[in-house]
Amino acid sequence: MPYKLNSVKLYLDNFISTMVVVKGTNIAPQALCEQSSICCWSVSDNEANRLVNNPDREFEFAQHTDFEANPWIQLDFGKVVLYDEILVFNRLPLAERARTLSIEISIDCQGWHCIHICDPDAPPFGGTDGNPLRVLTPGYETRFIRLQLHEPNFFHLVAIEVYRHDS
């Protein structure tokens, strides 16, 4: 059955309009977010929540960790939810800092299942340029989603969206 198109969003980067077609309902704003650290570029103690509440992509970065080993960002939905797709909007410029990103899911924050690992030798994924990281996971269940870098670095993104495709 074809998906019903719920929203089409326009993202501007260097005055070039790029369309990203998004199918379904973004459930990410239902999650509480935390990150491994904050730093001098952080805007607040709970800035990780800006990642899931940034529908217009109006920030160069929504959150920023300190330089540390294996920084992470975690979403907690408070209960197990069904979802079909994750979109990660990288910071432009400095997209290469996310080159070792992995995404893991868990229903209990104890056992983790890796659903994506970036190839550190591949070109970095984009963001508001129309090339966010898209991880298709049709019908998966999770309570927690953890994004983590696997090297010492800063970790900063523009947005994270988690979609449940409408039937």
How many C-beta neighbours within 10 Å does residue 4 have?
10
Could you tell me the domains of the chain? Answer: 7-164 (2.60.120.260)
Q: Among 123, 118, 112, which Cα is nearest to 149's?
A: 118
The model's pTM is 0.86
Q: Where are the alpha helices (DSSP H) in 8-109?
A: none
Please, what is the average pLDDT of the chain? 87
Of the chain, the percentage scoring pLDDT greater than 70 comes to 87
Q: Give me the amino acid identity at 74.
A: Q
**H or E, element range at 126:** none
> Is pLDDT at 37 greater than 50 in this prediction?
yes
> Is pLDDT at 87 greater than 60 in this prediction?
yes
